[in-house]
């Protein structure tokens, strides 16, 4: 084989990748690298990377676009952008997957780590809210983040930093003092805009207060709530 042949092969593979990209066929770089001469695989990867840096958005069909919009990582990113839990809707499922734990297993270990046995159902609801972006991250105690870090084999700073990223709609959200009333509003199915003022809201918040327990304090009492320690 001459020295030119492998180069021509790289040119051809790059061209094939670019054609498939522009046609919206979702070509996989690793498949193309596998087809390159072994000693030229890195070179092809570098070429495709350079192409991707300047490539136009592909012409995806509606069906392909719908598939892409349902990719778990895409949905997690959107829930993070939309929600009130920072990047936790993206981070927590990813950490769970990495730790090879189901959500119920995380809940079980979380309850044990936080020494609140028997609260698993309530804790499961809160964890679900964090993963779906509907729980204000600013209300979650650092102790919960430390326990999550322990259970998921992650760094507490990583979890806290993710929680602190403001979403598109809410900044850092309401102060902890208002959190219970807003949560109560959510539970009643009211839009957030109604959460702040009416007397009915105060009454509902009072009712919510009566059920306020250790798990509520952990997940809604605020990052620095000393009673959570």
Partner 1 sequence: MREPSPDPPRIPEAARRSDSELVRLFVRGRESGDRQDWDRAVDAWHVLVARDYERVRGLVAAFRFPGHPEVRIDTDEIDSATHEALERCLRALLTSFRGRSVGELRAAMRTATHFACQDFCRAQMRREQGIGGSIDDVRTAEEGQDIGRFDRELGDLAEGRHRAKTEAGEDLDEVAAAIAALPNENMREVLRLRAEGYCSKEIAGKLGLSPANVDQLHSRGLRRLNDGRGADG
Is 194 among the residues that bind partner 1 (CB under 8 A)?
Answer: no
Choosing from 5, 35, 59, 202, the residue that interacts with partner 1 (CB under 8 A) is 59
Query: Partners of 167 in the beta sheet?
Result: 171
Q: Binding residues for partner 1, how many (CB under 8 A)?
A: 70
Name which of 119 and 129 has its Cβ closer to partner 1.
129
Yes or no: say if 187 and 201 are a contact pair by the CB < 8 Å rule: no
Which three-class secondary structure state does DSSP give residue 122? helix
The contact mask relative to partner 1 for 96-115 (x = CB under 8 A, - = no) is -xx-----------------
Name which of 123 and 147 has its Cβ closer to partner 1.
147
User: Which two structure tokens, joined as six digits, stand for 111?
Assistant: 């309850």
* Closest separation in Å from C-beta 117 to partner 1: 27
The contact mask relative to partner 1 for 152-181 (x = CB under 8 A, - = no) is -xxxxxx---x--xxxxx------------
Which three-class secondary structure state does DSSP give residue 171? strand
Part in contact with partner 1 (CB under 8 A); list of ranges 76-84, 107-115, 175-183, 207-215: 76-84
d(CA 138, CA 190): 21
How big is the chain by its Cα radius of gyration, in Å? 24
Yes or no: say if 107 and 101 are a contact pair by the CB < 8 Å rule: no
Yes or no: say if 129 and 95 are a contact pair by the CB < 8 Å rule: no
d(CA 51, CA 44): 10
d(CA 84, CA 54): 34
Choosing from 36, 85, 91, 173, the residue that interacts with partner 1 (CB under 8 A) is 91
Name which of 18 and 101 has its Cβ closer to partner 1.
18
Contacts with partner 1 by CB under 8 A lie at: 8, 10-12, 14-15, 18-19, 21-23, 26, 28-30, 33, 42, 45-60, 62-63, 65-74, 76-78, 80-82, 87, 90-91, 94, 97-98, 153-158, 162, 165-169, 193
């Amino acid at each position: 084989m001459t020295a030119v042949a492998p180069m021509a092969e790289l040119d051809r593979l790059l061209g094939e990748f670019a054609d498939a990209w522009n046609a919206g066929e979702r070509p996989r770089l690793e498949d193309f690298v596998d087809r390159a001469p072994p000693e030229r695989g890195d070179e092809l990867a570098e070429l495709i990377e350079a192409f991707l840096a300047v490539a136009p958005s592909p012409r995806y069909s509606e069906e392909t676009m719908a598939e892409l919009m349902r990719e778990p990582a895409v949905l997690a990113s959107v829930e993070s952008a939309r929600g009130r839990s920072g990047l936790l809707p993206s981070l927590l499922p990813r950490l769970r997957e990495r730790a090879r734990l189901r959500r119920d297993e995380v809940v079980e270990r979380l309850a044990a780590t936080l020494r609140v046995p028997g609260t698993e159902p309530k804790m499961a609801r809160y964890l679900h809210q964090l993963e779906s972006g509907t729980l204000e991250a600013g209300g979650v105690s650092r102790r919960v983040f430390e326990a999550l870090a322990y259970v998921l084999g992650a760094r507490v700073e990583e979890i806290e930093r993710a929680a602190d990223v403001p979403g598109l709609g809410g900044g850092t959200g309401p102060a902890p003092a208002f959190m219970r009333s807003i949560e109560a509003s959510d539970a009643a199915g009211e839009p957030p805009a109604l959460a702040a003022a009416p007397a009915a809201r105060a009454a509902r918040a009072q009712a919510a207060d009566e059920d306020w327990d250790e798990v509520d304090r952990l997940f809604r009492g605020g990052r620095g709530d000393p009673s959570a320690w």
